[in-house]
Structure formats: structure tokens, C-alpha cells
Amino acid sequence: MRTAKITNRAYQYLLLLLGLLIFIGPLLWLVSTMLKTQDQTYVFPPKLLPQPFTLTAFSRLFETMTLMPRWILNSFVVSSINGLGTIVTSSLIAFGFARMKSRLRPVLFVIVLSTLMIPSQVTLIPMYILFSKIGWYDSWLPLTIPVLLASPYFIFLFRQYFLTLPRELDEATYVDGGGYWTIYSKVILPLSGPILISGFIFSFVFTWTDYFTPLIFIQSEKLQMMSVGLQLIMGKNSQDLPMMAAGSFLALLPIAVIYFAAQKYFVEGVVMSGIK
């Protein structure tokens, strides 16, 4: 019996190790490529370990693409704005759906969820015409304002978490003379740290990796995002594989840092939001 358990556990770890190798393989090859010289990337058979290690790909990247620091800063600012805005607006609307009583609440919630089925391409032309006429084209406003008006996905995510919090807390607040705003700001939000952090991470990553929206609404290279900047690197330096790998690594680095720094809260928030 004990031998069977050890064997099953060994198979489980073997499968996990195999899955790890499958998913981490491209990342290891990316890191290996960015540390190589251009000549080493064309060696056959390819070698994983660079000989010698070099960081010249990064120097060529910043020399060739002088706007790279600006693109990184632009993406970080816009992604942070969207992440914080998502927490404020979506959580406020989700609180209404989770705690406030109304006959129209189920109907309104279905309408909100139904908007998730509308492809972004359907609203592209009307939004482009609207933003052009009101003077928002070639600015960050088309990238931030729609997100700051709340997202159906995050409304649903926050609502599911708020439903897991006991309603006795609301009743205790009523007894102490508090209202809906007190419940939201003093009770619900302090207890919703994991899901709020998860929402920030999701929104940050969605904005950071979004290629379509900045490509359509931003024309000036100085205002451009990192995702579009990577495509510019590939278009101008498609033969320089180490430099493209260096640019991709810089694009992945902020996401990896944020995820690993908040991994505990991220997992807890996602798990708790599905308990109901």
C-alpha cells in the first residue's frame, strides 16, 4: 500500500516536472537568446548556454529604438491608471449588485453580462468616429476612459467575491447608524483585499499586453505603448534576434514582478470569488 502511494506521488511529480519544462522552455530560450551575440543565434545545432554571455543586445536595443524607455513608461502609467480605476468603478457597481435590493437588479445584471458577448471589433468603428470627433484621437483617453467606466468582467468578478461576505456585517453596520456607503468603504473593501489585488493585476496585464487598441487610436510614436513598440522592433530589426529577445524580456518583466509579488493574494482572490 505504501509503495503504491510512493509510486503515484512519483508519477504526479514527474507529470508536473514535464509540464514545467514545456511551459518554461520558451522563457529559457528567450533569456538564452538575449544573452547571445548575433552570430551565436545562427549556430547549428543551437546551444542553450551562450558562450560568452553578453548584454550588447540591450545596448543595441536602446541605441536603435531611442523611444524604448518612453514606451515602457507610457505602458506602465496607462496600465496603472486602468488597474486603479478598475478597482474603484467596478467594485462600486459590483457592490450595488451584491448588496442593494431592487426589482431591476437581476435584469440589469443580465444586461451587464450580455455585453461580454459583444466583440470589440463590432464597436471599433463607432468608437473611432466618436473619439475622433471629440478630439480624443492620438491621446491616452481612448485607452483609459472606457476602462474607467467599469468593465462587465470585473463587475462580475467583484460581485462573486462580495457575495461570499456575510450579510450580518451589513446588519451590524445598520445598527451602528451606517448606510450603504459606510458598508462599502468601511466593511466590504477592507475585507476584499485579495480580489481587489487580483482585479488590479488582471487589468494591468490586459492593458500592458493590449496591442489592438493603441495601434488604432494612437498615431504619435512618443505616446505609443510597449506592445506596439515591440512590433516596431520586429519590423525594423527582424534579423537581430538577440535584440528582439531583449525587447520581449523587458515587456515580460513588469508582469512577472507584479504577479510573483502578489501571488498569494491573486490565488486567494480567484479561489474565493468562486466559492458561491
**Amino acid, res. 115:** T
Q: Is 21 domain-assigned? A: no
Query: Residue 101 domain-assigned?
Result: yes
Contact 242, 37 (CB under 8 A): yes
- Provide the pLDDT for residue 81: 92
Predicted structure pTM score: 0.82
Q: Is residue 19 domain-resident?
A: no
**What is the chain's pLDDT, residue by residue, as a tens digit (276 residues)?**
567 777 778 888 888 888 877 878 788 888 888 887 777 777 777 777 777 777 777 888 888 878 888 888 999 999 999 989 888 899 899 988 888 888 888 888 888 888 888 887 788 888 888 888 898 888 888 888 888 887 888 888 888 888 888 888 877 888 777 788 888 888 888 888 888 888 888 888 888 988 888 888 888 888 888 888 888 777 676 677 788 888 888 888 888 888 877 777 666 655 554 444
Rounded Cα distance, 224 and 74, in Å: 7
Find out whether 197 and 179 touch, Cβ atoms under 8 Å: no
Total domains present in the chain: 1
**Domain around 139:** 60-272
DSSP-derived secondary structure for the chain: -HHHHHHHHHHHHHHHHHHHHHHHHHHHHHHHHHTS-TTGGG-SS--SS-SS---HHHHHHHHH-TTHHHHHHHHHHHHHHHHHHHHHHHHHHHHHHHH---TTHHHHHHHHHHGGGS-TTTTHHHHHHHHHHTT-TTSSHHHHHHHHT--HHHHHHHHHHHTTS-THHHHHHHHTT--HHHIIIIIIHHH-HHHHHHHHHHHHHHHHH--HHHHHH---GGG--HHHHHHHHHHH-TT-HHHHHHHHHHHHHHHHHHHHHTHHHHHHHHHHTT--
* Domain at 259, CATH number: 1.10.3720.10
pLDDT for position 274? 47
Looking at the domain assignment, is residue 89 inside a domain?
Answer: yes
pLDDT at site 238:
65
User: Is residue 87 one of the residues assigned to a domain?
Assistant: yes
**Does some domain include residue 195?**
yes
In a domain? residue 53: no
- Whether residue 2 is contained in a domain is answered as no
pLDDT of residue 78: 92
